[in-house]
Amino acid sequence: MEDIKNYTIQKLQSVLEENEFAPFCAQQIFGWVYKRRIENFDSMTDISQKARSVLKGAFYFSNLKLAKREVSCDGTEKFLFGLNDRNCIETVLIPQQARTTLCLSTQVGCKFGCVFCLSGKAGFRRNLTASEIINQYLHVQGLIGACKITNIVFMGIGEPLDNFFHTVNAVKIFTEPKGIHFGRRRICISTCGLTPQIEKLEKLNLGVKLSISLHSPDNRIRSELVPINKKYPLQELIRAVKHFHKTQRYPVTFEYALIGGLNTKKEDALALAKLLKGLKYKINLIPLNRMNSRFQVPSGVEIRDFQRELEKRGVFSTLRKSRGQDINAACGQLRAYAGCKRG
């Protein structure tokens, strides 16, 4: 049996055609599953009996089990979900004024070992399937009812571009007009800088936004913070991002965790402005969420001075308020768990 939520509409169409059913049946199924939220073929009354019985024998509907739901004093919510193999992942919901952002995980654990991030501390276990990514959204949207999720960010546990196939399929399912029909520009994929995958993503022309976890304009410091930089150094990364930007025509976002005394100097602001010259971009400054004693949280003055230095060079940045720290839901605080109990 196959998990139907791993199927893009195109793939479902070709399976139906192989079985000599009309391809538009896939559109009907998408309508039932993703618009009407029906997970039972018998209820899909506009589909022929014969097709329904074939579908019942071929597909099942997967679900995540909610193991824990925590609410922060700032309204941020963290969901701990149990997967079928007893692994667990976390998903975060961030309500702001006009938007409600869902932060999705794409892997159980992470391979990339960014030194200030907890998500990879217990190592990497496995990729999530497209259905496990989609189910995070469906489950949370089901729980919050009338309040609509307006933005999706692939910024939870894991590296989305290292799980390229399932991440791309999840995006295709999210944006499918016959199903959820989520706006492409309201989806953002964040990466620690996998240059070849950025190039691959660009060729697919999905129309989603790209965010780069940059953290330093200096190769030596960046390699220390984000070890994958040794393999794909800054110049190569920025070249790929510029190319992406040229074809996708949408500003790229750079995430920049401000670390006290390390990447907040005047020279860093200067080097950053120089590195990103010629690009249309936004910079999100995120004061470090402290994980260990190795790195310092920046002072208020340090943050303000860095932002001013950037401004002087025509670089405008937004300072991201850390959300959900009290429930360990902020950037870098999400973890994957093994052997977690489902439900």
Q: Which of 90, 159, 302, 309 is catalytic?
A: 90
Is the Cβ of residue 55 or residue 334 nearer to ligand SAH in the bound state?
334
Nearer to ligand SAH, 109 or 179 (CB): 109
340 among known catalytic residues: no
From 252, 332, 336, 337, residue interacting with ligand SAH (rule: CB under 6 A): 332
Q: How far is the CB of 228 from ligand SAH (least distance, A)?
A: 9
Q: Does 288 bind ligand SAH (CB under 6 A)?
A: yes
Buried b or exposed e, range 120-140, using 16+ CB within 10 angstroms: beeebbebbbbbbbbbbbbbb
Regarding 285 and contact with ligand SAH (CB under 6 A), the answer is no
CB atoms within 10 A of CB 305: 16
Number of residues engaging ligand SAH in binding (CB under 6 A): 17
Compute CA distances 48 → 21, 28, 299, whole Å. Answer: 9, 11, 65
Compute the half-sphere exposure of residue 18: CA atoms within 13 Å on the CB side of its CA: 9
Q: Report how far residue 102's alpha carbon sits from residue 156's, in angstroms, rounded to the nearest whole number.
A: 9
Residue from 4, 51, 104, 117 binding ligand SAH (CB under 6 A)? 117
CB of 151 to ligand SAH, least distance (A): 14
Nearest of 268, 265, 266 to residue 254 by alpha carbon: 268
Which CB sits closer to ligand SAH, 170 or 192?
A: 192
DSSP structural state of residue 35: I
Of 66 and 291, which has the nearer Cβ to ligand SAH?
A: 291
Residue list 52-71, contact with ligand SAH (CB under 6 A): none
**Judged by CB under 6 A, which stretch of 43-51, 69-77, 92-100, 114-122 contacts ligand SAH?**
114-122
Q: Which of residues 222-281 bind ligand SAH (CB under 6 A)?
A: 255, 257
Which residue, 252, 259, 224, 250, is CA-closest to 238? 252
Rounded to whole angstroms, what are the CA distances from 55 to 28, 32, 64, 219, 291? 13, 13, 21, 53, 48
- 224 catalytic, yes or no? no
Lay out the site mask for ligand SAH across 188-227 (x = CB under 6 A, - = otherwise): --xxx--------------------x--------------
Cα separation, 6 vs 82, in Å, equals: 18
Which residues in 131-160 contact ligand SAH (CB under 6 A)? 155, 159
Half-sphere exposure of 90 (CA within 13 A, CB side): 28
SS (H, E, C) 299-331: CHHHHHHHHHHHHHCCCCEEECCCCCHHHCCCC
Distances (CA, A) of 77 to 19, 132, 324, 327: 43, 19, 7, 8
> Shortest Cβ contact with ligand SAH: which residue?
332
Applying CB under 6 A, does 128 fall inside the site for ligand SAH? no
Contact pick of 67, 122, 221, 291 for ligand SAH (by CB under 6 A): 291
- Nearest residue to 93 via CA among 324, 255, 257: 324
Q: In whole angstroms, how close is the CB of 336 to ligand SAH at the nearest point?
A: 12
Of 39, 36, 62, 34, the residue nearest 181 (C-alpha): 34
Looking at the annotation, which residues are catalytic? 90, 331
Residues that bind ligand SAH (CB under 6 A): 114, 116-117, 155, 159, 190-192, 213, 255, 257, 286, 288-289, 291, 331-332
